[in-house]
Structure 1
Amino acid sequence: MAAKDEFGRAGEQRAAAHLRARGFDVLDRNWRTAGGEVDVVARRADALVFVEVKTRTTDGFGDPLEAVDARKRARLWRLANAWCAQHPELARGRARRLDVIGITGADPATARLEHVEDVPWA
């Protein structure tokens, strides 16, 4: 695995730990389909939360949260619907939302973490 991939996975691990600490149940990680990947699928109360994680060493290329543009959000909505179609027992009767977690710093374990909840899908 390339160093960049390992760095991203470490960020996703930190994001999952952050979600668990805030009372979320992590249902799935790195769920893939032909259309792409959902980094984290979590549940809290009656909501399914599809989480995009962006990990960067610096904000030299902009805030990692800015990387989740309208096109990316629309793709995540399609992926969320595909996940729900494959997991109807977990999706039935639950609201869906998109969260974005940005992690910025040289070490994902101690880097700055920003969690934006309920990002508009498009």
Structure 2
Amino acid sequence: MAVHNDLGRKGEALAKAHLEAQGYEVIDENWVFGKAEVDLIAYKDRVIIFIEVKARTGTGFGQPEDFVDARKQKLLVQAADEYIYLMNHQGDVRFDIISVLFDRNSNYKLNHIEDAFWPSGI
């Protein structure tokens, strides 16, 4: 497995542990619809939260969350629409980003950005 895939999996595991420690119920991981993959789907207070996890080892090209661009957001929204339909969810939804920034010693800083973006149409 490529190093960037290992980093991504490590970031997702840390994000999941963070969410569970905060009282979220993680109900799905790496859910795929079409060309989109939602890293984590969680539930808390009757809200389904779609979470994109971004892990990086440096900020030379920007913060990890900066890589959730308009194209990625559109794919996430399409996947979320399908998930909401399949689950017949009638409540609120939210889109979060969890960024994990690792240093050279494998220490990390986790940043959970709630309501990171709000798409039209949902």
Write out aligned runs for 1:7-46 (5 A). Answer: 7-46=7-46
When residues 72 and 108 of structure 1 are mapped into structure 2, their CA distance, relative to the original with a 3 A threshold, is farther
Aligned CA RMSD, in angstroms, stands at 1.7
Question: Partners in 2 of 1:48 and 1:85 — Cα distance?
Answer: 12
* Structure 1 residue 107: Cα displacement: 7.0
Contact 2:101/2:108 (8 A) holds in 1? yes
* Contiguous gaps of at least 5 residues in structure 1: none
Contact 1:11/1:109 (8 A) holds in 2? no
* Structure 1 residue 66: Cα displacement: 0.9
Write out aligned runs for 1:1-122 (5 A). Answer: 1-88=1-88, 91=89, 93-106=90-103, 110-122=107-119
* Contiguous gaps of at least 5 residues in structure 2: none
Contact 2:65/2:98 (8 A) holds in 1? yes
Contact 1:16/1:40 (8 A) holds in 2? yes
* Structure 1 residue 112: Cα displacement: 0.5
Question: Partners in 2 of 1:10 and 1:72 — Cα distance?
Answer: 21
Question: Partners in 2 of 1:48 and 1:107 — Cα distance?
Answer: 35
* Structure 1 residue 108: Cα displacement: 9.8
Contact 2:34/2:79 (8 A) holds in 1? no
Alpha-carbon displacement from aligned partner over 1:44-66 (angstroms, at most 9, x marks no partner): 01100000000001111110111
What letter corresponds to residue 102 of structure 1 in structure 2?
S
Once superposed, which parts of structure 1, at least 4 consecutive aligned residues long, lie more than 6 Å away?
Answer: none
What is the total number of aligned residue pairs between the two structures?
119
Alpha-carbon displacement from aligned partner over 1:23-59 (angstroms, at most 9, x marks no partner): 1000000011223100000000110000000000111
Q: TM-score, normalised by structure 1?
A: 0.89
Q: TM-score, normalised by structure 2?
A: 0.89
Q: Share of identical aligned residues, percent?
A: 38
